[in-house]
């Protein structure tokens, strides 16, 4: 309000080039806005967000003494912050800005210019009315705890943790498996350079293990997250390993002596491990865990062979889970992906035929640390004479996952190269489209085309052992359509590799809820902005990196993890953060102290306090998120949400119909 208590509102209508002006008569809207109550100036301009546009508003605030600003342009999700800063620079409280979304919700979705112009007028009218009732808000700041939590110890988590720790800031890296390494440590070579995955990852893993600024917690899971940006409290369950980490000297005798064998998760079920095990020899930390589901002592009460042979006396059957609480300022979630289980598609015969294997199984077969020492062999120990690689199993398929898993085309090419290198087998690629988009990828495709691999374009209908000719006997026959030649095809092979999709973790919903992250329809975590903010989430201070956001290759994962680390470091270096200003407030003269707000709030922000004889609610503004649940449930209407008051919303509603 000016000195006389009057509102002085400026309205700014953006053309957005032709984005708005093409369907909305911007001049007419501007002219109309000028006639509205309390509006002292209304202007239209080609690009309101440009420097010139911003200066225009700034000058008007100063020269015309504006005390409310309405910008009618794109979505506030796009430029609200830009225009708030404009107000701030001109000395106006940033919360005295209101935006009318006449681009995303008007010009881009309507085609009739008259109707779109009328709607734009109504939206501007409503925004002006709402601005009329807005009040200045005070922005508070919270200090940032300089510690960071990284959840997930795959390549994304490792990269992010190292980047932050190298700047001498503390990182808690939590991994639920006994070792860090994630899926990447299971891979053999990596496309398109054919670097050995272990060779490039293990140095990073050991750097994590020995880093003075990384507190590595493996075989541990985050159980509870509370607090807010800068000040999160994390509860971590460190599962009992039944091996004393301080005493164990990683000699491996326990694993040698343990008589109980279990399918190895690391080898994708192709090899065996013991009931006391480290997942693989290069594990970090190289300390075994006892799998209580398969250990005879835990099942039957006898055995204890590991304990008997352990010179270091590190085995401790009495160990229990530990609960560790840590405080951090920023969280990076890098929980990775699951591999699609192709047994739900019986037509490919996975689980039925021994020599139909998944891509991950092939990685283990081809890896020097795998069950065959890197030799590509059939189940009966023979070398295959022919191998078919089927693309898009569970990806680009409306029955399973509609998205492209992004890495399969390239690893399929890598498989073909490895098979050619290690055996004399004929290799067939059955693909829908070859997607070779990254640096050096198309070149790798070209190279493989010259290595004598047969490319067949077409989706495979089924894999069968039902032979119809002499040649097909004893083989797996890949049946489908060659869409280039337009022929039915029957390709007899010894081995079939299914390029299984990358899918969201089966417990992604639980993790999303714990960290308050949104998810896409396909289950992956949702970034704040698909193009401009691929690492942030709706929850300030919670960042995402790697395949938990969407399927991606190693270079993209590393880039995203480094970006998340940079964002965390930016917060740490700034040291403080602005808190939500639009929070709940209580009119103590109306509050009866009934406690309904206390019951309904998920964030424990309202508390009933005794004030002499009277009990009233008071809001902890640091905890309050401004969701408004308490305001609606308050029986006396004592609670309101700043910036979203009843008066503001009802005024906006009334103005929409022209009241």
User: Applying CB under 8 A, which residues contact another protein?
Assistant: 75-78, 101, 103-106, 108-112, 115-116, 118-119, 122-123, 126, 509, 512-513, 516, 518-521, 526, 538-539, 582, 600, 602-603, 625-629, 631-633, 641, 644, 646, 649-650, 652-654, 656-657, 659
Shortest distance in whole angstroms from residue 295 CB to another protein? 36
Shortest distance in whole angstroms from residue 368 CB to another protein? 42
Nearer to another protein among residue 260 and residue 403 (C-beta) = 403
Nearer to another protein among residue 47 and residue 644 (C-beta) = 644
Tell me the two tokens of residue 305: 């062979």
Nearest to 131 by CA among 273, 7, 230: 7
Could you give the angle at the alpha carbon of 93 between the alpha carbons of 87 and 95, nearest 5°? 90
Nearer to another protein among residue 104 and residue 338 (C-beta) = 104
How does DSSP classify residue 591?
-
Nearer to another protein among residue 405 and residue 645 (C-beta) = 645
CA Rg value for the chain: 31
- C-alpha distances (whole Å) from 53 to each of 58, 89, 448 are 9, 14, 54
Tell me the two tokens of residue 382: 């023979």
Q: Give the H or E element holding residue 276.
A: strand 276-277
Shortest distance in whole angstroms from residue 619 CB to another protein? 15
The CA distance from 159 to 172, in Å, is: 13
Residue 177 Cα to chain centre, angstroms: 20
In Å, the largest CA–CA distance within the chain is 100
The CA distance from 347 to 349, in Å, is: 5
Nearer to another protein among residue 113 and residue 257 (C-beta) = 113
Order of strands, edge to edge, in the sheet holding 542-544?
214-217, 171-174, 148-151, 330-333, 542-544
Nearer to another protein among residue 137 and residue 296 (C-beta) = 137
Cis ω before 86 (30° cut-off from 0): no
Nearer to another protein among residue 78 and residue 137 (C-beta) = 78
3-class state of residue 615 by DSSP: strand
Q: Decide if 103 contacts 42 (C-beta within 8 A).
A: no
Shortest distance in whole angstroms from residue 568 CB to another protein? 21
- C-alpha distances (whole Å) from 299 to each of 7, 107, 262, 288, 473 are 77, 68, 14, 19, 46
Q: Give the H or E element holding residue 589.
A: none
The CA distance from 422 to 70, in Å, is: 69
The CA distance from 322 to 220, in Å, is: 9
Shortest distance in whole angstroms from residue 580 CB to another protein? 9
Contacts of 298 (CB under 8 A, 6+ apart): 290, 292
The CA distance from 554 to 557, in Å, is: 5
Shortest distance in whole angstroms from residue 253 CB to another protein? 47
Residue 41 Cα to chain centre, angstroms: 44
What is the residue-wise DSSP string for 165-225? HTTT--EEEE-SSSSS-TTGGG-SEETTTTEEHHHHHHHHHHHHHH-TTEEEE-SEEEEEE
Handedness of CA 441, 447, 448, 450 (dihedral sign): positive
- Tell me whether residue 214 is exposed, middle or buried, using C-beta atoms within 10 angstroms of its C-beta: 0 to 12, 13 to 18, 19 or more: buried
Shortest distance in whole angstroms from residue 597 CB to another protein? 13
Shortest distance in whole angstroms from residue 188 CB to another protein? 35
Nearer to another protein among residue 119 and residue 406 (C-beta) = 119
Shortest distance in whole angstroms from residue 588 CB to another protein? 20
Shortest distance in whole angstroms from residue 27 CB to another protein? 19
Nearer to another protein among residue 1 and residue 521 (C-beta) = 521
Q: Strand 276-277 vs strand 476-482: parallel, antiparallel, or unpaired?
A: unpaired
Shortest distance in whole angstroms from residue 521 CB to another protein? 6
Contacts of 469 (CB under 8 A, 6+ apart): none
Q: Decide if 520 contacts 307 (C-beta within 8 A).
A: no
Nearer to another protein among residue 34 and residue 518 (C-beta) = 518
Nearer to another protein among residue 134 and residue 190 (C-beta) = 134
Nearer to another protein among residue 184 and residue 631 (C-beta) = 631
Nearer to another protein among residue 146 and residue 626 (C-beta) = 626
Shortest distance in whole angstroms from residue 177 CB to another protein? 26
Shortest distance in whole angstroms from residue 103 CB to another protein? 7
Within 13 Å, how many C-alpha atoms sit on residue 508's CB side?
24
Nearer to another protein among residue 111 and residue 611 (C-beta) = 111
Nearer to another protein among residue 448 and residue 542 (C-beta) = 542
């Amino acid at each position: 309000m000016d000195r006389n208590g009057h509102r002085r509102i400026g309205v700014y209508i953006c053309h957005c080039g032709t984005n708005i002006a093409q369907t909305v008569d911007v001049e007419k809207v501007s002219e109309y806005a000028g006639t509205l109550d309390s509006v002292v100036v209304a202007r239209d301009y080609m690009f309101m967000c440009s420097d010139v546009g911003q200066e225009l508003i700034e000058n008007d605030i100063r020269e015309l003494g504006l005390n409310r600003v309405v910008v009618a342009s794109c979505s506030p999700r796009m430029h609200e912050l830009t225009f708030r800063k404009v107000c701030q620079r001109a000395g106006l409280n940033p919360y005295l800005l209101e935006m009318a979304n006449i681009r995303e919700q008007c010009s881009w979705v309507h085609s009739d210019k008259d109707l779109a112009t009328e709607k734009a007028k109504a939206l501007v009218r409503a925004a002006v009315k709402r601005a009329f009732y807005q009040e200045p808000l005070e922005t508070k700041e919270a200090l940032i705890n300089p510690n960071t939590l990284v959840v997930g110890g795959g390549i994304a988590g490792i990269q992010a943790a190292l980047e932050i720790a190298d700047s001498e800031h503390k990182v808690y890296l939590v991994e639920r498996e006994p070792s860090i390494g994630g899926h990447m440590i299971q891979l053999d070579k990596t496309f398109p350079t054919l670097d050995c995955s272990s060779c490039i990852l293990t140095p990073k893993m050991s750097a994590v293990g020995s880093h003075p600024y990384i507190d590595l917690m493996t075989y541990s899971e985050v159980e509870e997250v509370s607090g807010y940006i800068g000040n999160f409290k994390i509860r971590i369950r460190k599962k009992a390993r039944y091996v004393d980490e301080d005493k164990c000297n990683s000699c491996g005798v326990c694993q040698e002596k343990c008589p109980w064998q279990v399918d190895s998760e690391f080898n994708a079920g192709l090899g065996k491990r013991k009931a006391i095990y480290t997942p693989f020899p290069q594990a970090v930390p190289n300390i075994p865990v006892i799998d209580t589901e398969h250990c005879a002592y835990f099942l039957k009460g006898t055995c204890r062979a590991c304990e008997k042979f352990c010179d270091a006396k590190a085995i401790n059957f009495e160990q229990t889970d530990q609960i560790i609480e840590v405080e951090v300022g920023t969280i990076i979630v890098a929980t990775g992906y699951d591999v699609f289980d192709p047994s739900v598609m019986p037509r490919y015969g996975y689980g039925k035929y021994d020599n139909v294997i998944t891509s991950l199984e092939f990685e283990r077969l081809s890896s020097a640390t795998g069950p065959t020492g890197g030799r590509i062999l059939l189940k009966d120990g023979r070398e295959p004479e022919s191998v078919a690689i089927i693309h898009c199993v569970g990806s680009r398929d409306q029955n399973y996952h509609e998205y492209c898993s992004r890495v399969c085309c390239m690893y399929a090419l890598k498989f073909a190269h490895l098979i050619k290198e290690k055996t004399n087998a004929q290799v067939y690629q059955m693909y829908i489209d070859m997607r070779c988009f990254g640096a050096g990828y198309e070149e790798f495709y070209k190279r493989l085309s010259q290595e004598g691999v047969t490319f067949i374009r077409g989706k495979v209908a089924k894999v069968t052992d039902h032979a119809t000719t002499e040649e097909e006997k004893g083989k797996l026959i890949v049946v489908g359509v060659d869409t280039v030649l337009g022929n039915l095809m029957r390709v007899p092979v010894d081995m079939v590799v299914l390029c299984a999709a990358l899918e969201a973790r089966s417990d992604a919903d639980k993790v999303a809820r714990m960290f308050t992250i949104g998810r896409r329809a396909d289950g992956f975590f949702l970034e704040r902005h698909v193009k401009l903010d691929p690492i942030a989430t709706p929850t300030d201070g919670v960042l995402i990196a790697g395949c938990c956001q969407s399927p991606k290759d190693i270079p993209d994962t590393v880039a995203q993890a480094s970006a998340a680390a940079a964002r965390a470091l930016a917060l740490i270096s700034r040291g403080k953060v602005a808190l939500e200003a639009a929070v709940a407030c209580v009119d103590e003269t109306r509050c009866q102290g009934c406690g309904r707000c206390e019951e309904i709030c998920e964030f424990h922000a309202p508390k009933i306090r005794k004030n002499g004889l009277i009990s009233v609610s008071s809001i902890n503004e640091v905890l309050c998120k401004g969701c408004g649940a308490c305001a609606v449930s308050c029986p006396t209407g004592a609670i309101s949400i700043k910036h979203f008051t009843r008066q503001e919303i009802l005024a906006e509603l009334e103005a929409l119909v022209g009241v």
